[in-house]
């Protein structure tokens, strides 16, 4: 086993693979045990899958919590049991005339900000110790509590197309959102707001953790790089795992405190009082030293969440 690899991989997940499948395949290619992904993608969804290798797996929680960007397509006119193109049709509401761009855009704008979203039945959310998709597969629909998510951007990226024969309207979109957002549910909720049944007919994740789809590497290409002893061309620094966190540069004195796990007091470290986020990434000489978090009980105190310096 190769336990000397440490860093982040920007993997392009192809359709038909689960995120677990990708990690299992990479474990074999890289011959390493410590490996994990930073945010699940449904099998039919393609795009950026951040993967942590070696010591970087300690940062997976920050990768999973980071915001993501998706691009896809919404089809208005029928809905499916899975809210995407893979499920059986459960409702039809024929669209008999073109929906105007203005009407669509105004409806999309109402979803931007902090909103409540009910997870779909076909999801891995657990209720009473059982995953929702397990209930769904046995024909059960149960009540699910709404969860707060944040939509940073939700915009139409193509002109709507009216298909008179199928009685549907479809258009492309882009959404930037927080952890826990079900984009297919967003598509369904938008369709309902417009007065129709609808579903997410296509989706691709284009960005996560500062990783962009144009730089993502396929498993086939990575396997070739490994065979050619050129993995370093694709292994990114661990710092990519904390792209979404505020970055603070430490002084020499603060660095010495951080590496031994000491707390910071806002009265001695004034920049902290201006932070609105509950965590920050502490850097020294452009290297990640630690992740700090607000103390749960002591006002004005920040404590180490993880110390990475070795």
Q: Give all domains of the chain, ordered by start, each with its CATH number.
A: 7-66+209-241 (3.30.2350.10), 68-206 (3.30.2350.10), 245-307 (2.30.130.10)
pLDDT at 131: 83
Q: Can you give the C-alpha Rg of the chain in angstroms?
A: 22
Q: Which residues of the chain have pLDDT under 70?
A: 1-3, 310
Q: What is the dihedral of CA 204, 205, 207, 213, to 10 degrees?
A: -50
Q: What pLDDT score does 2 carry?
A: 59
Considering only CA atoms, which of 155, 161, 187, 157 is closest in space to residue 95? 161
Indicate the pTM of the whole model.
0.91
pLDDT tens by residue, 27-80: 999 999 999 999 889 889 999 999 999 999 999 999 998 899 999 999 999 999
For the record, the structure tokens of 38 come out as 């930073």
Per DSSP, what are the bridge partners of residue 168?
163
Task: Tell me what pLDDT residue 82 has.
Answer: 92
d(CA 62, CA 209): 9
Length of the chain: 310
Q: Which of 42, 84, 189, 244 is catalytic?
A: 42
Give the start-end residues of each E strand in 83-226: 89-92, 113-117, 126-127, 130-131, 147-156, 161-163, 168-177, 198-208, 211-212
- Specify whether 286 is catalytic: no
Q: Tell me if 70 sits within 8 A of 174, measured CB to CB.
A: yes
What is the model's pLDDT at position 23?
96
pLDDT in tens, 133-167: 788 888 888 888 889 999 999 999 999 999 999 99
């Amino acid at each position: 086993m190769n336990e000397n690899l440490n860093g982040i991989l920007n993997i392009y997940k192809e359709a038909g693979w689960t995120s677990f499948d990708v990690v299992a395949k990479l474990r074999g290619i890289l011959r390493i045990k410590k490996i994990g992904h930073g945010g699940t993608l449904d099998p039919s969804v393609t795009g950026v899958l951040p993967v942590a290798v070696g010591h970087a797996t300690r940062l997976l929680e920050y990768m999973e919590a980071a915001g993501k960007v998706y691009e896809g397509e919404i089809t208005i006119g029928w809905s499916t049991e899975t809210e995407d193109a893979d499920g059986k049709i459960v409702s039809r509401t024929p669209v008999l005339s073109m929906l105007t761009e203005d009407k669509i855009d105004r409806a999309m704008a109402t979803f931007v900000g902090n909103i409540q979203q009910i997870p779909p039945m076909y999801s891995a959310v657990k209720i009473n110790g059982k995953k929702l998709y397990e209930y769904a597969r046995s024909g059960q629909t149960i009540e699910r509590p709404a969860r707060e998510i944040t939509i940073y951007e939700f915009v139409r990226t193509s002109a709507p197309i009216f298909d008179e024969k199928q009685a549907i309207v479809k258009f492309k979109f882009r959404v930037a959102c927080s952890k826990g957002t079900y984009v297919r549910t967003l598509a369904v909720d938008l369709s309902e707001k417009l007065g129709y049944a609808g579903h997410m007919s296509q989706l691709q994740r284009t960005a996560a953790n500062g990783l962009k789809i144009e730089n993502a590497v396929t498993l086939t290409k990575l396997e070739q790089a490994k065979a050619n002893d050129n993995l370093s061309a694709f292994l990114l620094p661990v710092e990519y795992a904390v792209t979404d966190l505020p970055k603070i540069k430490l002084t020499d004195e603060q660095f010495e405190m951080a590496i031994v796990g000491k707390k910071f007091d806002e009265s001695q470290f004034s920049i902290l009082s201006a932070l609105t986020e509950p965590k920050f990434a502490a850097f020294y000489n452009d290297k990640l030293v630690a992740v700090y978090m607000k103390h749960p009980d002591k006002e004005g105190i920040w404590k180490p969440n993880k110390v990475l310096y070795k």
